[in-house]
Amino acid sequence: MTRSDSAPVVDIRGIYKEFEVDGSRTLALDGIDLAISPGEFVSLIGPSGCGKSTLLRLIGDLTGPTRGSIEVNGKPARQARSDRDYGMVFQAPVLFDWRTIEANVQLPLEIVGVGTDERRRRASEMIDLVELSEFGRHHPWQLSGGMQQRAAIARALVIQPKLLLMDEPFGALDEMTRERMNSELLRIWERTGTTVVFVTHSIPEAVFLSSRVVVMSARPGRLTHVIGIDLPRPRDESTRELDRYYELVTEVREALKAGRGPVTEESEMAAEFGARVSPEHTP
Amino acid sequence: MTSAGRADSGSPRRRQAGSLLRGLVGPALAFVGILAVIAIVWETAKLIGGVPWREVAGVPIDPPWNPPLRIGLFNDVNLPHVWEIVGAFFQPPSRRSEFTLGALLIDAAIFTWRGAAIGFVIGAVVGLLLAIVFVHSRLLERALVPYVIASQTVPIIALAPMVVLWIGRDWPSVALISAYLTFFPVTIAGIRGLASPDPRALELMRSYAAGRWTILRKVRLPAALPYLFTALKISATASVVGAIVAEAPTGIPGGLGRAIITFNQQYASGPQKLWATVIACAAVGILFFLLVRAAELLTLRGRQQPAT
C-alpha cells in the first residue's frame, strides 16, 4: 500500500500562521514541517485549538500561511486546489437538501464539467463503494448521520483525488457508528490507494486508522511527536483487541500530555476564532 | 432509530403529493369555514344591533323583527345584507349596463391582475438581481440598501399620478407601480437567502475551485429559494394592492381601481356594489397568492419538510 519511495503528496515547509483578533496577533502554527508520502494515512491529533484544522485548511488552500510553503502533488497548494487535486470531508456532511444523494455526489463533476453519462457512471460507482446504492435517489434528510457522512466521502472521492483531507469527519457520530465508519474508511482507503490526512480528537480513532499519527501541542501549534503505527493491515475489529494497539494508544496519549502547554482563555478564544475564519476571502 | 428505518419510511413521491394536497385543500376548507363564520357574525350583528329593514319602494314595511339594540353603525348602508352583496354580483350595476356586476368585475379583475402580474415579474427579477449584487458587494449593499428602504417609505399614492403622467393611463403604469411594491420584499429576502448557505458549503465549493457564478447557481440560489418564495407570496398580494392603488387615484379605466372609485361615489344608493368590488379585489390577491404558493410547493418538493 505505501509507496514511500516517490515524491511526497504533501510537503509542508516552515509554516507559520498568525491570526489577528481584535487587533492583537496570535500565533496559531509555529514552524510546521511535515512531508506525507503517497498512500499514507496520516492523522493530526492535538488538544482543541491547537491548529490542526487550520493546518488541514492550509493544505487545501482554504486559508493562506503567514510564512512558509506548502506543496501538494509537487505544486503550490493554490495550483493544486485549482487542479482539483484533493477532496475534502468536513465534520458535517454539508450535503445539499435540494439534491438527491446521487446529485450531491455528482456535484464536483458538474463543476469540473464532466458530461451527464460519465457523471452518472462515476457517481454510482462511488455510491456503491460507500454502500449507499439503495439510497441514491433519496434526499440527504432521509438518511442517518453516518449515511450522510458516507455520501460526503463518496462526493470527495468522485473526482478521484490523489489526496483526501478529512476534518474530524466522524466527530459528530456516536461511538458505535464511528467505529463502523472507521472500518469502512479503511476499506475505501485500501481500495482507492488515496493519501489521507485526517484530523481527529480521538486517540483510538487515530491509532486504528493511521500509518502515522502526528501529535500537535497546544498554542502555538507545533508538531511534538510523530508516531509510526505498525499495526498489521488489513485492520478490522480484532485490531482493537491487540496488545500493540493498546501500547500505541498509550503512547499517543502520553505524547499528547507531554505537549500540553499552559492554556490561557485568551489564546483559546483566538485559536477557536482562527479555525473558523470566514472562507470568503478572495481566492 | 436505525438508519435503515429512517431511510425506508414512506415513498418520497407519495409524501410530496400528499403535502401538495394538504398545502392547498386544507387551507381552502379553513378559508371557506372562516368566510361562513364572518357571514354569520355579520348577520347576527345586524339581527341584534341593526336598524329595521328598509322600506320597499317607498312603502315602509312592517318589520318582522325589531333588533333589541339599535346601533347606527349596523344599518343597511354600512353593513348591507350578505345576500344583497352576493346578489349584487348577478345584477347589472346600473340600469344602463347590459352586463352583470360579476361579469364586469371579472373583466376588471383580469385587467388589474395583468398589470399586477407583469409588475410582479419585473419586480421579482429586479429584486433578485439587486440581492445578487448586494450579496457580492458589501460596498454597494451599504451604499444602496438605505435607498431601497427609503423607496418603500414614499407613499405610493403620491408617486402613482407622476408615473401615470409619464407613461400614460394604461396598464404599463400599473405594472410599473406594482413592480415598485414587489421588488422590496424580494430584495430583502434575497439578501438573506443568498447569504444563508453554511460557510462550510462555500468552503466546499472553494475546495473545488468553483467561481462565483458556479457558487451562485449551485449553492446560493437553490438555498435562497425558500426565502424567495416567502417574499414572493408577500409580493403577490402587494402587487395587486399596488395595481389597484395605481389605478384608483388616476382613474385608469378598465380595472378594479376605477370600479372602487365609481362604486364609492354610488355608495349611499348601492353599498353592496362597493362591497362586492372589495371582495373581488381580495379574491384577486388570494388567487395570485395561491398561484405562487402552488409554484412554491412544486419547486421545493423533496426538500426537508418542517419536523412533523
Q: Give me the DSSP letters along B8-54.
A: HSS-HHHHHHHHHHHHHHHHHHHHHHHHHHHHHHHHHHHHHH-PPPP
A271 or B282, greater pLDDT: B282
Q: Which of B1, B6, B204 is opposite residue A142, by nearest beta carbon?
A: B6
> Do B23 and B140 fall within a single domain?
no
* Side chain identity, residue A247: E
Question: Domain holding B178: CATH number?
Answer: 1.10.3720.10
pLDDT band at A233 (very low <50, low <70, confident <90, very high): confident
Which chain B residues are closer than 8 Å to A181 by Cβ?
A: none
Q: Are residues B38 and B161 both part of a single domain? A: no
Residues B259 and B139 in one domain: yes
Has residue B121 got a pLDDT over 90?
Answer: yes
Q: B239 and B181, same structural domain?
A: yes
Does residue B75 sit in the same domain as residue B149?
no
Give me the pLDDT at residue B14, please: 54
Q: Indicate if B55 and B108 belong to the same structural domain.
A: no
Kindly state whether residues B179 and B46 are assigned to the same domain: no
- pTM value? 0.80
Higher-confidence residue: A150 or A258? A150
Per-residue confidence at B20, pLDDT binned at 50, 70, 90?
low
Tell me, what's the pLDDT at B95? 82
Interface of B with A (CB under 8 A): 1-3, 6-7, 9, 12, 198-210, 214, 218-219, 222-223, 225, 300, 302-304
**Per-residue pLDDT band at B18 (split at 50, 70, 90):** low
Residue B234 inside a domain? The answer is yes
List chain A residues with CB under 8 Å of B208: 84, 107-108, 111-112, 159
Say how many domains are in chain B.
Answer: 2
Q: How confident is the model at residue B220 (pLDDT cuts 50, 70, 90)?
A: very high
Which of B43, B63, B79 is the C-terminal boundary of a domain?
A: B79
Inter-axis angle of helices B271-299 and B101-136, nearest 10: 40
Cα dihedral sign, B69-B71-B75-B80: negative
Chain A environment of B7 (Cβ under 8 Å): 134-135, 138, 142-144, 147
Residue B276 above 90 pLDDT?
A: yes
Is the domain of B222 the same as that of B108?
yes
**What pLDDT does B304 receive?**
67
| Residues B124 and B216 placed together within one structural domain of the fold | yes
User: In this model, does residue B22 exceed pLDDT 80?
Assistant: no
At residue B9, the pLDDT reads 44
How do A163-167 and A75-76 pair as beta strands? unpaired
Instruction: Give yes or no for residue A75 having a pLDDT over 70.
Output: yes
Find the closest chain B residue to A59 by CA distance: B207
Q: What's the confidence (pLDDT) of residue A274?
A: 45
Indicate whether B5 belongs to any domain: no
DSSP-assigned letters across all residues of A220-248: SB-EEEEEE----SS--GGGGG-HHHHHH
B220 and B283 both lie in a single domain: yes
| Enclosing domain of residue B206 | 103-299
Please check the confidence at residue B301 and state whether its pLDDT lies above 90: no
A279, B198: Cβ pair inside 8 Å? no
Residue B4 domain flag: no
Q: In this structure, is residue B306 part of a structural domain?
A: no
pLDDT, mean of residues A210-219:
89
Query: Which residues of A are less than 8 Å from B202 in CB distance?
Result: 279-280
- According to DSSP, the residues that pair with B305 across neighbouring strands are none
> Where do we find the cell 384608483?
B248
**Final residue in a domain of this structure, among B29, B44, B79:** B79
pLDDT at A282: 35
Mean pLDDT of B99-128: 94
pLDDT of residue A275: 44
User: Which residues on chain A are in Cβ contact (under 8 Å) with B218?
Assistant: 107, 110-111
Are B111 and B72 members of one domain?
no
Instruction: Tell me if A107 and B303 make a contact (CB, 8 A cut-off).
Output: no
- Does residue B156 lie within any of the structural domains? yes
For residue B143, tell me if it sits in a domain: yes
Q: What is the DSSP string of B247-287?
A: HHHHT-TTSHHHHHHHHHHTTTT-HHHHHHHHHHHHHHHHH
For residue B19, what pLDDT is reported? 64
Q: Do B110 and B50 reside in the same domain of the chain? A: no
Looking at B79, B95, B128, the residue that finishes a domain is B79
DSSP H or E segment with residue B293: helix B271-299
What pLDDT, in 10s, does the model give residues A5-23?
578 899 989 889 988 878 8
- At B17 the pLDDT is 59
Q: Is residue A56 classed as helix, strand or coil in its secondary structure? A: helix
pLDDT digits (tens, 9 = 90+) for B62-71: 666 677 777 7
Instruction: Give the model confidence (pLDDT) of B28-43 as tens digits.
Output: 899 899 999 999 999 8
Residue B3 lies in a domain: no
Cis preceding linkage at A234, omega within 30? yes
